[in-house]
Structure 1
Amino acid sequence: MSTALAVGLLVVVLVVAVTRPRGLPEAAAAVPAAAVVLAVGLLTPAAAWDEVRELGPTVGFLAAILVLAHLADAEGVFRWAGGVLARRSHGRPQRLFALVVVAAAVTTAVLSLDATVVLLTPVVLDTVRRLGARPAPPAFACAHLANSGSLLLPVANLTNLLAFGATGLDFLGFAALMLLPQLAVLAVEYVGLRLTFRLELAEPAGPDEEGVGAPLPRFAVGVLAATLAGFAVASPLGVEPMWVAVAGAAVLAVRALAARETRVRELVAAASPGFCVFVLGLGVVVAAVTERGLGDVVASLLPAGTSFPALLGLAAVAALLANLVNNLPATLVLLAALGPTPATGAVLAMLIGVNVGPNLTPVGSLATLLWRRVLSVRSVPAPLGTFTLAGLATVPACLVAGTAALALVV
């Protein structure tokens, strides 16, 4: 009964987060569910506090990077990027598509997948409108690269941050091992999506009729570059990425506040405190589910060793679990199932699964759900059939290519 209750609570939390009935925030179910977990004894208060304390730096980083991305957008970074995309595409849909793949991969790596979904995707859609091109290829490129383009750096995805400590690597060590898998996945994504949308990409577009785009916001770009360098420098010193992100956000925030271009209330809203609370509540519920048996079930499914077949099997299980329960809880469950001292290769293979796998179904990651809302607001269709076809054309091959590349370097 306790196991069924824990699983039921997790299902309710995920359903509310996915559907958001009546516009309810994600935390509307996660917080009460966490309270029930404690009230009925599915998890002790001490264990719940340990989970919250462990997730604290990760959630703090999430809030800081969201503020940093918001301020970068306010400084014109994404408007400038849209102008570059329009000019460099020369009215050719295939070239625009390739440029969007690169832009989405860079944005995801530096500012996390949320920035790609919330900030880059609208700019890309506006650029498509200016050129008169079909929106589906670049729009789906943003969705796919928000997930599968988040392998390279620990700061690119919340799943990476949750697992970063378990890898035993520093920032640059993580990037070095994930560089080849990331390149392999990007190559497969590009080819797979090009084939999926070959008809749309064959239709002609036009030149940028609105002329020169926004100028390069040098100060904001410099702060972003310094923040990225700070991640690399701070990691060997044992400094949490959260503090580097806070420093970068603080520099842009002080400038914006001094110029009266923003207000403290807007910065707090940009940090998405409701979503941060959701992540903490979700962590408590997932800890209860793991404690009540799911962790043992998942552990029994994971292959042992770090050979290519073992790593591929682990990535496949991770991808399947991400599509069943969403990639955030999947990551928490898998980390518990891997044990206290997992092999570095096993953790990285798991990340390939939970980051690439969500491109198969719209419910695999919260970023994908948010992407669908962005498209809906702009009346751009994202049919389930098209999403599934694009996923089938890329996800299996990405898992194999990324894991094979990982097996070469671990």
Structure 2
Amino acid sequence: MALTLSVAALAAVLACALLRPRLQAIVAGLAAALVIVAGATTWRAAVGEISELAPVVAFLAAVLVLARLCDDEGLFRAAGTLMARATSGGQSRLLTTVFAISAAVTAILSLDATVILLTPVVLATARALAVPARPHAYATAHLANSASLLLPVSNLTNLLAFSAAGLSFLHFAAAMTLPWIAAIVVEFLLLRWLFAKDLATEPQRAVSVEPLDVPKFTLAVVVLTLAGFAVTSLLGFSPAWAALAGALVLGVRALADRRTTMSRIVVSLDIPFLIFVLCLGVVVDAVMRNGLESAMQQVIPDGHGLLALLGIAAVAALLSNVVNNLPAVLVLLPLVAGSGPAAVLAVLIGVNIGPNLTYVGSLANLLWRSVVRRDVKAGFGEFSRIGVVTTPLVLVAAVLGLWTYVRLIGL
């Protein structure tokens, strides 16, 4: 009975997140209260789960604010100028530039920045050139997921895995560099092949290229914040302090220059989503306590060999497309944490790359669809067809990168 109730509560939360995201915090809160009142979990366990997730959520909040302030300071506008300049080499060069910028933005400022802030810039560039937007739009969609492997700050799933793996910031980044590069290269080759016809279209009109105005102060703060992530981690402090420092510096400057307002900064925190994450953790914990943990233990492979890592990543990818990648990582991390960092990072590869298979895989996919609706008719069928071609190969390439690192250097 407790398992049925917990699963029903989780299903309701996910359905709301996918179909009515504005209500997701309310529904998640009600679902968390229900599993506690019904005895599927306890107040003590719920408080413990929230306490464990709180530092991760605080880190996420600081990064969200940092990304929005970078947009206010003109960083993404400069990225648009770089893309426009790349069109002199045709669409293939434009796609290369979109890939490079998307990978960097995703890794440093998180996948949300790529979907919400960069994708509209990419679409505007394609619109100005009168070229098909599909190749470049799908590049941002896929890289928002697959290019989020590199740093703990790149994705909420990374923050959770970072805590479970017990690695330093630099060690995490080193271990994920090969998987990150492999995923991006294979993704690029496959999307270039799939959209060869669209990419053959020459720009129908020249776009007026404005002078490149890189906000040097903002870029310097971002670089120093990245360095701060590494330093705080080495000193035993949460990297959230470095993210908070970067957000404070940019926030004070933007407020002083009237480039933003306090209300805009508060909105960028996305407090409803942060509440959703905390309450979702309580509901997933209830499901785990009432039978899912023992069931999943029968499915997850053991070991650190290539086949075991591939199996772990595959299970994580499939589970992401059944229940979404955030619940999937919350379910799987406690099961593999005892097997060591390699297993944790294999789960991360699965839950980050796997969502490119279907819209259900991540909330970022649905957010991307709403962003591109005006320019690209990206239906469920087309998204999944492209995902079927790309996702398995990108997943295997990334796991091979992780396995190579483990064999050569170790974890």
- The answer to whether the superposition gives a TM-score over 0.5 is yes
TM-score (ref. length: structure 1): 0.97
Give the aligned partner of residue 31 of structure 2: 33
| 2:287 aligned residue (282, 286, 289) | 289
**CA distance in 2: counterparts of 1:386 and 1:363, whole angstroms:** 14
Tell me if the contact between 2:75 and 2:214 (Cα under 8 Å) persists in the aligned partners: yes
Match runs of 1:360-375 below 5 Å? 360-375=357-372
CA distance in 2, matches of 1:343, 1:295: 18
**C-alpha distance in 2 between matches for 1:207 and 1:24:** 39
Where does residue 187 of structure 1 map in the other structure?
185
Q: How does 1:262-273 map to 2 (within 5 A)?
A: 262-273=260-271
Match of 1:349 among 339, 343, 346: 346
Q: Distance in 2 between matches of 1:271 and 1:390?
A: 33
Q: Which residue of 1 aligns with 2:405?
A: 409
Aligned residue in 2 for 1:396? 392
Letter in 2 for 1:188: V
* Partners of 1:355 and 1:208 in 2: CA distance: 37
Does residue 1:102 correspond to 2:97, yes or no? no
- Alpha-carbon contact 2:312-2:343 (below 8 Å) kept: yes
Distance in 2, Cα, partners of 1:214 & 1:358: 35
What is the rounded CA distance, in whole Å, between the counterparts of 1:384 and 1:14 in structure 2?
18
- In structure 2, C-alpha distance between the alignment counterparts of 1:77 and 1:296, rounded to whole Å: 47
Preserved contact between residue 303 and residue 339 of structure 2 (Cα < 8 Å)? no
2:170 to 148, 152, 172: 172
Note the C-alpha offset of 1:91.
Answer: 5.7
8 Å contact 2:319–2:325 — kept in the other structure?
yes
1:137 CA displacement: 0.4
> What are structure 1's unaligned runs of at least 5 residues?
none
Q: Shift of the alpha carbon at 1:28?
A: 2.2
Deviations 1:232-282 (A, max 9, x none): 111111111211111101001101111222221111111000110000011
1:10-409 equivalent positions in 2, closer than 5 A:
10-20=10-20, 24-90=22-88, 92-206=90-204, 208-339=206-337, 341-376=338-373, 378-409=374-405
Q: Aligned residues, how many? A: 406
What is the Cα deviation at residue 131 of structure 1? 1.4
Q: Which residue of 1 aligns with 2:7?
A: 7
Of 158-167 and 257-266, more deviation after overlay is shown by 257-266
Render the CA deviation track for 1:115-158: whole Å, top value 9, x for unaligned.
00000000110111111111000000000000000111111010
Answer yes or no: is the 8 Å Cα contact 2:84–2:207 preserved in 1. no
Q: Which amino acid aligns with 2:362?
A: S
* Larger displacement relative to structure 2 (231-240 or 320-329): 231-240
**TM-score, normalising length from structure 2?**
0.96
Aligned to 2:409: none
8 Å contact kept, 2:73–2:259: no
Distance 1:350 1:93 in 2: 35
Distance 1:206 1:228, change over 3 A: farther
How far off is 1:397 after superposition? 0.5
Deviation at 1:24, TM superposition (A): 3.0
CA distance in 1, matches of 2:250, 2:272: 23
Deviation string 1:175-221 (CA, Å, 9 cap, x unpaired) is 11111111111111001111111111111114642222551111111
Amino acid at match of 2:343: A
Aligned letter for 1:388? S
Per-residue deviation, 1:344: 1.1
CA distance in 2, matches of 1:256, 1:77: 13
Deviation string 1:283-342 (CA, Å, 9 cap, x unpaired) is 110110111111211111011100000000000000000110000010010012225x33
SS at match of 2:258: coil
Q: Which amino acid counterpart does residue 97 of structure 1 have in structure 2?
A: L
CA contact (8 A) 1:117 1:143 kept: yes
Task: Provide the C-alpha distance between the structure 2 equivalents of 1:80 and 1:213, rounded to a whole number of angstroms.
Answer: 9
Q: Distance in 1 between matches of 2:205 and 2:84?
A: 8
SS of 1:291's equivalent? helix
Residue identity opposite 2:287 in structure 1: V
Separation (CA, whole Å) in 2 of partners of 1:173 and 1:222? 23
Taking only aligned residues, the RMSD between alpha carbons, in angstroms, comes to 1.2
Query: Offset at 1:231?
Result: 0.8
* 1:61 Cα deviation after fit: 1.2
Q: Is the 8 A contact 2:35 2:283 kept in 1?
A: yes
The Cα offsets for residues 56-80 of structure 1, whole Å up to 9 and x where unpaired, read as 0111111111111111001000000
User: How far apart, in 2, do the equivalents of 1:25 and 1:107 lie?
Assistant: 28
CA distance in 2 between counterparts of 1:165 and 1:209 reads 46
Letter of the 1:127 partner, please give it: T
Moved more, 286-295 or 311-320: 286-295
Percent of aligned positions that are identical? 52
> Counterpart of 2:23 in 1: which secondary structure?
coil
Whole-Å Cα distance in 2 between the matches of residues 405 and 257 of structure 1?
A: 43
